[in-house]
Chains A and B, each alone.
Chain A
Amino acid sequence: MKTNSLFPFLIHVFALLAIQILLLINFVIPIGSQFSFTLYIYPLIVIILPLNLPKSGQLLIAFIIGIIIDYFYNSPGVHSGALVFATFLRPIILRLFEPRGGYRIEQFPISKNYGLTWFYPYCALFLFFHLLVYFSIDAFSFVYILKILVNTVISFIGSFVLINLYQLIIRL
């Protein structure tokens, strides 16, 4: 999937959504009394969105993906709120890690095109912000700040590993 072609992209979207909704939705490991270890793979959809999409369009796509996830998680607005926020930050993060030659807008922002050393920080930052906002909305109160932070960290580690595993296996 080197150049911006719609069909492979849609297959990946569908696959990621399926994995998230069918497999990962039940993957909750409680740690202690108030922390839990959960995995999220759907942020990869937004991570690999083409670079030449208008920003409003990216936000809309993120919103729709989030709503679909929310529908199955029975938490209307939570995932979409977090995902839209992270998508808003995406251009800033991309600009932060702009490779020396600039981005080639006809290609997807994936590790095959730009290398793992570029992909790791980009993916990590995006994922971290997304999960931070997600757990904050989920708790909705500063009383639970410890819970928010711990959950973010452990879910981040798990999801990050999972996302890169997916990339490796599917040879994105």
Chain B
Amino acid sequence: MFSLFGLLQKFSHVFIFLLLEGICFYLIVNYNTTQKEIFIHSTGQLTGNILNQSSRLNDFLLLEEENKRLTAENSKLIREVISLTDLVEQNTSNNLNRTLSFDTYPAEIISQTIHSNRNHIIINKGSQDSLSNSMGLINDIGVVGIITHVNNKYSKAISLLNVDCKISSTVKGNDYFGTMSWDGKDLNILTLSGIPKHAKFSEGDTVITNGYSTIFPPNLTIGTIVNYNIDRSNEFYNINVKPIISFGNLKKVYVVNNNFGEEILSLQREN
């Protein structure tokens, strides 16, 4: 302990030297312009590099938050796109005036089946997130399925690959509508039935939702036409459609809710 003090005393002039040189350095860098510029430039390069790495690390740590934020933003944008395309359609076509208004909620798939005849999907949102039966399930590419059961925190939906799933659809560019369903046989082929044989379309055309189902907003892609044949018995086409979504690796979806669904349904039932 005392030897430390002795050492300190012996080298006190070194500390004074360092202190004075420090003061000189401070004066040099602050009060002389050329030195100041050179100093700022050199330290700027060094600190810039360090700050850049630190910022990247920070960004990485905040990825989860950013992800959630982006999903919410996405959901809002999809909602806007739906209402805007609807607006455009209203102004450019002769559709009967129908103010569609859809809400979208983001959700994540926590479980799904793809190998049975009746495939279902379970998502992590439920009635406490204002979900209810018969809401549609989509993602940014196209149609995924329809919700059938709702729990407090989770919901179950049938996917397109389910023989019970029937969606009203149209070939893009056409006004004829038909029903999209699945026969349970080939994972890559859905069947569009009910398009009359005088309709004009070709292979590769996109099949989209029309507005006639109260579940899905119009113009959502379901799939593309692979081939077709005429059903002899009732003069309609049987069109084979490849779904645009690959059901194996779905993760993020959006639940769409038609705000006027109830009204329209009740009207349809009235007769």
A and B: interacting chains: yes
Chain A residues in contact with chain B, CB under 8 A?
54-56, 58-60, 62-63, 66, 70, 75-78, 80-81, 84-85, 88, 137, 140-141
Q: Are A80 and B27 in contact (CB under 8 A)?
A: yes
Q: Are B12 and A56 in contact (CB under 8 A)?
A: yes
**Cα A88 to Cα B17 with chains together (Å):** 7
Q: Are B17 and A76 in contact (CB under 8 A)?
A: no
**Cα A84 to Cα B25 with chains together (Å):** 11
Q: Are B34 and A140 in contact (CB under 8 A)?
A: yes
CB-contact partner of B28 in A58, A62, A76, under 8 A? A76
B residues 20-70 near A (Cβ < 8 Å) are 20-21, 23-32, 34-35, 38-39
Q: Are B13 and A59 in contact (CB under 8 A)?
A: yes
Which 3 A-B residue pairings sit nearest by Cβ, starting from the closest?
Answer: A77-B27, A55-B13, A81-B24
5 contacts between A and B (CB under 8 A): A56-B13, A60-B16, A63-B20, A80-B24, A85-B21
Q: Are A140 and B27 in contact (CB under 8 A)?
A: no
- How many A-B pairs have beta carbons closer than 8 Å: the answer is 63
Taking CB as reference atom, which chain B residue is nearest A63? B20
**Cα A76 to Cα B27 with chains together (Å):** 6
Q: Are A63 and B24 in contact (CB under 8 A)?
A: yes
Chain B residues within an 8 Å CB radius of A88 = 13-14, 17
Interface size on B, residues (CB 8 A): 21
Q: Are A137 and B20 in contact (CB under 8 A)?
A: no
CB-contact partner of B20 in A54, A75, A84, under 8 A? A84
The secondary structure that dominates the B interface is helix
Q: Are B13 and A77 in contact (CB under 8 A)?
A: no
A60-B20, A137-B35, A140-B35 known; A78 vs B28 contact (CB < 8 Å)? yes
Q: Are A59 and B16 in contact (CB under 8 A)?
A: yes
Q: Are A76 and B21 in contact (CB under 8 A)?
A: no
Chain B residues within an 8 Å CB radius of A54 = 13
Q: Are B16 and A137 in contact (CB under 8 A)?
A: no
**Cα A54 to Cα B17 with chains together (Å):** 12
**Cα A161 to Cα B230 with chains together (Å):** 113
Q: Are B25 and A77 in contact (CB under 8 A)?
A: yes
Q: Quote the shortest CB–CB distance from B162 to chain A (angstroms).
A: 73
Taking CB as reference atom, which chain A residue is nearest B42? A141
Chain B residues within an 8 Å CB radius of A70 = 27
Q: Are A78 and B32 in contact (CB under 8 A)?
A: yes
**Cα A84 to Cα B22 with chains together (Å):** 11
Q: Are A84 and B13 in contact (CB under 8 A)?
A: no
CB-contact partner of A77 in B12, B32, B34, under 8 A? B32
Q: Are B24 and A84 in contact (CB under 8 A)?
A: yes
Taking A88-B13, A140-B39 as known contacts, 7 extra A-B pairs with beta carbons closer than 8 A to each other, sorted by chain A number, are A59-B17, A60-B20, A63-B23, A77-B23, A81-B24, A85-B21, A88-B17
Chain B residues within an 8 Å CB radius of A55 = 12-13, 16
Chain A residues within an 8 Å CB radius of B35 = 78, 137, 140
Taking CB as reference atom, which chain B residue is nearest A143? B38
**Cα A88 to Cα B30 with chains together (Å):** 24
**Cα A141 to Cα B28 with chains together (Å):** 13
A84-B21, A84-B24 known; A75 vs B16 contact (CB < 8 Å)? no
Q: Quote the shortest CB–CB distance from A86 to chain B (angstroms).
A: 11
**Cα A112 to Cα B38 with chains together (Å):** 45
Chain A residues within an 8 Å CB radius of B20 = 59-60, 62-63, 80, 84
